[in-house]
Every structure is written in structure tokens, then in C-alpha cells.
Amino acid sequence: MIKQAIRLDEKQLQTLRDKQHQLIEGDEQAQAKARIIASVPGLGPATVSVLIAELPELGTLNRQQIARLVGVAPTNRDSGTLRGKRTTGGGRTEIRTALFMPTVVAKQYNPTIKAFYDRLVENGKPKMVALIAAMRKLLTILNVMIREGKSWNQQPQRT
């Protein structure tokens, strides 16, 4: 009984993946975005689908706007002379969730994100803060890549 339920779930999941693929293949603009996003090391088909579906503004906004929209931009918690902590939050949680694991992978295998993350940790930032900053960096790079229509291989490697 449990095996049947698992097989049914796997079948439904595959059907949904096929529909996602068909929707992306049916739209020229989405197809171009998908090719660019998929060229980044560590970003797989699931992340590509979420970014295309949940973030149509990708490539049209500046870096501050896209970071604020997703919720990875630091926000001040100041009041008068009191200087509070800087936090991130708000925005589109689906995108933050979809970018979390690819950022974890990128901090190990993507030379640009790895150098950025390592520099922040060396400078004393907590690892989670550095990871969210790397997520913002990855999102910003994706935004510019889509705006300019360039894949990762053509991306300059700077930190």
C-alpha cells in the first residue's frame, strides 16, 4: 500500500515536471531565461522553474530592488540613537527557499561565490550571514546575466 502511494506520488511529480518543462519550452522569453539560469553551476531544473515562475521581474530591476523583492537585502532596525541589528526578511519566501541550497552548493564549487563567502567569513561574519550575503550576490549576478542576455561562461569572475 505504501509502495503504491509512493509510486503514485512519483508519477504525479514527474507529470508536474513535464508540465513545467512544456510551459517553459512554449514561451521563447522563458526559454531564454531558463538557458541563462541553468548555465550557472549549482542551479538545477527545480531552481530554474521556481525563478522563472515566481520572479518574472528578474532582469528588469536594479540590484537593490531585486534583493529587496526577494528579501535578502539587509534592513536596519535603528531607532533614534539606538543602533539595532541588521536583518533580512520579507519578500518572496519561495525564491529564498529555492536559492538556499544552490547557494550552499555554490559556496563550495562556484569560484566567484566561494571567494565572496570565504572573504566574509575571514572578516568575522557569522557563517549564516555570509551565506545570505552570498545568496544576494548570486541573485544579483543572475539579474545582470538575464538583463544582458549572457550565460555564466561569459560572466567576468570578480568578487
Residue of 144, 111, 138 lying closest to 43 (CA atoms): 138
Name the 3-class secondary structure at 82.
strand
The residue extents of the domains of the chain are 2-154
pTM: 0.80
| Residues 133 and 116 sit within 8 Å (Cβ to Cβ) | yes
Q: Is 73 or 25 the better-scoring residue by pLDDT?
A: 73
Q: Average pLDDT in the 19-37 region?
A: 80
* Alpha carbon distance 27, 18 (integer Å): 15
